[in-house]
Amino acid sequence: MKYSLLIVSMTLLVSCGRTNSPAEDLPQALQDAGAVEQKVDGMLGSFPRSGYGKDLVDGLFADVLEKDTALAGLLERIEEQHVHHRSAMEEYDRFMERNASYYTAALAHAGAIGDTTMRAALIAAVGSSRDRFTARMAGARASAAAYAASVARMNDLITRIKVERTMALMEAYQGDYDSA
């Protein structure tokens, strides 16, 4: 009799207790406080505009990427394109900065000429050259602006995916405590 009472008591305790999902289903970022930094360090993090940091969202997203290889592969391909385009844009920016620097310095030198007629003619010539350059580069500036808008949009979409996918994990985690 005591044995059956013990079994019934244990069954009631176990069945009334909080149900936990298996530890392997719980994202590592929710299991261990130090796991966020470890996981995020290995995650795709060279999207500086997308706000990768070392918080719980990033830790959970690292878990998502480990399980969703298709998403991880897509983000890797996007990152490869960003690296390629970033180097091209850096080269373009250096080119534009050098030209701006030249025209600023050329106007300063022209302005230092003592002869007013010569100074005015040289300032006009430098200004005309700068205007021609600006007109020639209008298409490149438009392309650079369109590319920057495209990168911003892509980063917004990645952030949206990141938040939506991690929100599902958090809601599942919160659901474990609703039944308690």
What's the number of domains the chain is made of? 1
Burial 23-58 (b: 16+ CB within 10 A, else e): eeebbbbbeeeebbeebbeebbeebeebebeeebbb
> Does residue 7 lie in a domain region?
no
Note whether residue 118 is domain-resident: yes
Q: Is residue 92 part of a domain?
A: yes
pLDDT average, residue stretch 96-118 = 98
In a domain, residue 14? The reply is no
> Does any domain span residue 8?
no
Query: Has this prediction a pTM greater than 0.85?
Result: no
- pLDDT value at 132 more than 50: yes
Predicted local confidence at residue 23, as pLDDT? 54
Instruction: Write down the pLDDT at residue 25.
Output: 67
Q: Which two tokens stand for residue 93?
A: 């920016």
pLDDT in tens, 16-73: 444 545 555 667 777 765 554 554 555 545 444 344 457 899 999 999 999 999 999 9
pLDDT: which is higher, 165 or 13: 165
Domain-embedded: residue 102: yes
Is the pLDDT score of 85 beyond 70? Answer: yes
Query: What is the chain's percent helix, strand, coil content, to nearest 5?
Result: 80, 0, 20
- Structural domain including 155 reads 31-178
21 is a domain residue? no
In a domain, 46, yes or no: yes
